[in-house]
Amino acid sequence: MDGIHDLGGMAGFGTIAYEEDEPVFHEPWQATAFALNIVGIGVLRNHNADEYRHSIERMLPVHYLQACYYERVLTGAATLFVEKGLVDLDDLEARAGGSFPLAAPNADDPMVDLTPQPVARFKVGDRVGVKDIHPKGHTRVPRFCRGKTGTVLHVAPAFSFPDAAAHGGAFRKEHTYHVEFASTDLWSDAGSENESVVVDLWDSYLEAAAS
Amino acid sequence: MSGQTKIASPEARTAALKDALSKKGLIPEGALEGVIQTASEEWDPKNGARVVARAWVDADFRKRLLEDGTKACAELGYEGIQGEYIVALEDEPTRHNVIVCTQCSCTAWPVLGLPADWYKSPEYRARVVREPRKVLHEMGLDLAKDIAIRVWETSAETRYMVIPCRPEGTEGWSEEQLASLVTREALVGIALVTSA
């Protein structure tokens, strides 16, 4: 989805806060929230990693930007525990002593029709174009590279296709490619010629481009 | 939602979720504690630092690391979730590598540890792909204009780590001494390694 999570290249953000010798968790609840999600994925099999990422993407934009990372983890995991019926929202709110904001529901028609590509179609050095797609559900094509052309630097092994895995679609694996885009091809205000962004993209997001 | 209006604190909401799942007997004993212990103690950027130091002193290991990062890291015992496909990016005098995940905050947990807040911040995720030289400057790293920058977006299953340039003046140093120089920041590419 073209959501608030897809932040790459968005303007208006200020300086990056940096903390010296930062602890792994700042507060105990953050560790618990992290662990609840990991147990939800790995032990309870309540949800998979793609459903989890998308549950966070479905958070209201205002909530997303105001929440710290572990509040986003908590909200995404809780949304999936409620949606799959393991816990009840009224019960959670009674226990918490206040409201418990969850993410918005999944889109009715979350997937774009992309032909599965079980065999790697591209090799190192190929020029590839990124399809200009706008799935309503989960996808891992950042907006900033859609419609752009880049060069394959590396062919990675085949991995589960996230757009399907997040929405109960048929399991499929496709190779991913490390595709390098010149910054000057991505941004009209790019800093210099010798900067680039390498994006890791599944096969069916791509199409052959003229070299 | 129910009649509740005031939003409970994240701490209270976390406790509520844990209680609700526990009451149904869904959380095996010790499961949460086990995850927290692994995240706090085993996933550590010191692991990545040891990988880098080994690559600096052992040319064969360096070659294996660049060919198959996952396997090379596993040689030192660093593997597992979010380390299933590790690719090591070697800095060169004329090219610098920096890592980001713009859409969430993916990183190679077994070798880099869970990411720091700056890595997870909207500011870093939004800006580093668009104005990397400026972002690095603000974070204390000034790169000469003729040094190329590659920003690696962790958008699929590859998990990256940076192999920074070995600092001058460290000839003859032990692997352990070298590892002590490699910071969490250098492994992501927002800092260089210095011997000072």
Q: Per-residue pLDDT averaged across B132-142, rounded?
A: 97
Bridge partners (DSSP) of residue A160 are: A173
CB pair distance less than 8 Å for B2 and A89? yes
Query: Domain boundaries in chain A?
Result: 1-105, 127-208
Measured between CB atoms, which of B8, B17, B158 is closest to A36?
B17
Q: Is B174 on the interface with A (CB under 8 A)?
A: no
Q: Is A124 on the interface with B (CB under 8 A)?
A: no
Q: Residue B5: its pLDDT value, please?
A: 79
Distance from CA of A116 to the nearest CA of B (A): 16
Q: Per-residue pLDDT averaged across B78-98, rounded?
A: 96
Best of B26, B84, B129 to disrupt the A interface by mutation (most A CBs within 10 Å)? B129
Give the architecture (CATH level 2) of B44-188: Alpha-Beta Complex (3.90)
Q: Is B121 on the interface with A (CB under 8 A)?
A: yes
How far is Cα A103 from Cα A105, in angstroms, rounded to an integer? 7
Q: Residue A28: its pLDDT value, please?
A: 98
pTM beyond 0.95: the answer is yes
Count CA atoms within 13 Å of residue A161 on its CB side.
24
What is the DSSP code (8-state) at residue A204? Answer: G
CB within 8 Å of A143: residues ≥ 6 apart: A2, A6, A8, A9
Cβ A81 vs Cβ A89: under 8 Å: no
| Packed helices B10-23 and A28-42: angle between N→C axes, nearest 10 degrees | 40
How far is Cα B28 from Cα A105, in angstroms, rounded to an integer? 29
Give contacts of B158 with chain A, Cβ < 8 Å: 156, 176, 178, 200
Q: Is B11 on the interface with A (CB under 8 A)?
A: yes
Q: Is A198 on the interface with B (CB under 8 A)?
A: yes
The pLDDT tens digits along chain A (211 residues) read: 999 999 999 999 999 999 999 999 999 999 999 999 999 999 999 999 999 999 999 999 999 999 999 999 999 999 999 999 999 999 999 999 999 999 999 999 999 999 999 999 999 999 999 999 999 999 999 999 999 999 999 999 999 999 999 999 999 999 999 999 999 999 999 877 899 999 999 999 999 998 7
Distance from CA of A147 to the nearest CA of B (A): 16
Nearest Cα residue to A201 out of A130, A98, A101, A134: A130
pLDDT-derived band at B3 (thresholds 50, 70, 90) equals: low
CB pair distance less than 8 Å for A16 and B154? no
Give contacts of A100 with chain B, Cβ < 8 Å: 1, 4, 7-8, 13, 16
The correct CATH number of A127-208 out of 2.30.30.50, 3.40.50.1860, 3.40.50.2300, 3.30.420.40 is 2.30.30.50
Q: Is B144 on the interface with A (CB under 8 A)?
A: no
How far is Cα B120 from Cα A198, in angstroms, rounded to an integer? 19
Cβ A8 vs Cβ A142: under 8 Å: yes
Domain A1-105 superfamily per CATH? Nitrile hydratase, beta subunit (1.10.472.20)
